[in-house]
Amino acid sequence: MKLWTLSVALLSVASYISSGMATGENSFQLALDYHVPKNIAFSCHFGGSSHVVWVLSILEELAARGHHTIFYTRDDHAKFIKNFPTVELVSAGPAIVEKETYKNGIRVLSSDSHIDSFLCIMKALMLNFTDNYLNHMDLFSKKDVDLAICDYFNMACVEASIANKIPFIVTSTHILNADAIAPYINIDFLSMHNPTSKNVPFFERLRDKVINLIRLLIKARGFIKEFRQEQRALGLEPTSGQWHIKFKDSIKMFNTAFGFDPPRPIGPLVELIGPILPKTRPVLTDDLQQFLGSHKKVVYVAFGQHAVLSTEELGLIMASMLENMETGDIDGILWSVRDMEHLFPETLQTRSGQVYRIRDLFDKKEGQSILFLEWAPQVAILHHPSTQLFLTHGGSASVYEALYNGVPIVIYPFFTDQPAAAVIAEENGYGRWMKKSDQEQAIKVVQEVLRDDRYRLNANRFKALVQIRSNRGVQRGADVMSDATFPS
């Protein structure tokens, strides 16, 4: 035994000496020499910051590697480029839909009718398709684009890439594609409010998968027929609504990770590179610094860029906050209202009989416990130790920002992937779903998350996941895009 141990030790020493000699004058360092500058264009005209900012972070990294990067968008989305000076902005003109039409569309999306919501999305995405397609063709030609990055909902970008024989990558915040699906996964718009079939009653699954699909096809048949004719007029093969077929052979890149999307088998062209979060953020204003410094149990309330709340909804949420303030579970409220002041109820009465004049609370006063904001440095607020809870719509960027800072959440969802985010928050134990039209439940879920330490423990567990994956997510995304510039 001793002889064997001595032999192993001598071999180890010999190996060490040999490897040490190999790093001397007779060795050289491998260097990367594959790089060829490419023109890379990202096209996204719809969806807001969660569709755009993480991709722009990757484009900035690609620009640092010597590529020429372009962001092709609409005027209403041009604001997202301000922190990415190395990316060229090309605007296709005004927003796809006018502001009032957009607000009406959001109201439809927020309704309980999944059929009407899906029709609303389809019509918005296919609006002015011919012009969008021809504009993409023109851009790709003028800019000599080598690689196109197409938002999942930008069919014109995909079609123009195929027509020009340009390799393209499809991007999305959540996993939506057919090569990342399983029988228990819901990715279609009629059933995605339940991320999986787990605990979903049979008749609800029958309604979502069969009955509503038939009803949708009946209501959409005229629109689908017109769109197919429009595609044929351009010399394109109609997709029959299955637009993901067009990019079955392309890379799909998603700003997510298993844990935020249910686990399932995925194909070789599916890349989960998220969550990606920009590292540089606005700091707290002096007023916010003072407010957070003088309170210890603050709830931050914000519902993203798109949500349109009714007076009844605002009253339900506000009453929930006030009830928990009266019990001492909250000592401060920060609310990003975004031009919604006129929608708040005039007064509210809590169960204790206390009457609050809500409109008066918008007047800033010394020492007040409620502060309404038109704009809020969200990440800086979430980063402050006094912020104990985030009441959010459940958009992916907001969920990631909360968990990056270990802040538990309560989700008041509106449309598309937000109800699924609420389900996943409850399953993962870092948040709860605040239901509409149930005042008692709205009060209790806030109270529960604030009082039960398990929610913060689970938020800190996911904090590690978000921080670890976001640390190198941009570089991983840039590597995938760089690889795609060398098509077979």
User: Under a CB-based contact definition with an 8 Å cutoff, are residues 189 and 117 in contact?
Assistant: yes
Give every CB contact of residue 26 below 8 A, 6+ residues apart in sequence. Answer: none
Residue 21 has pLDDT above 50, yes or no: no
* CB burial of residue 285 (10 Å; 0-12, 13-18, 19+): middle
Rounded Cα distance between 119 and 70, Å, is 31
* Among candidate residues 390, 354, 360, 373, the one with its CA nearest the CA of residue 291: 373
In tens, the pLDDT along 67-111 reads: 999 999 999 999 999 999 999 999 999 988 766 666 666 665 666
In tens, the pLDDT along 280-301 reads: 888 999 999 999 999 999 999 9
CA gyration radius, the chain: 26
Sheet (strand 39-43) strand order: 88-91, 68-73, 39-43, 147-151, 168-172, 251-254, 270-272
* CB burial of residue 420 (10 Å; 0-12, 13-18, 19+): buried
Angle in degrees, 0-180, between the axes of helices 453-484 and 396-404, rounded to the nearest 10: 120
Phi, psi of 253 (to 5 degrees): -115, 125
Cis peptide before 275 (omega within 30 of 0): yes
* Among candidate residues 108, 94, 84, the one with its CA nearest the CA of residue 306: 108
**What's this model's pTM, rounded to 2 decimal places?**
0.89
Rama region for 305: left / alpha / beta (φ>0; ψ in -120 to 50; rest): alpha
- Model confidence at 11, pLDDT cuts 50, 70, 90, reads low
In tens, the pLDDT along 359-396 reads: 888 887 777 899 999 889 999 999 999 999 999 999 99
Q: Which two tokens stand for residue 389?
A: 């809870």
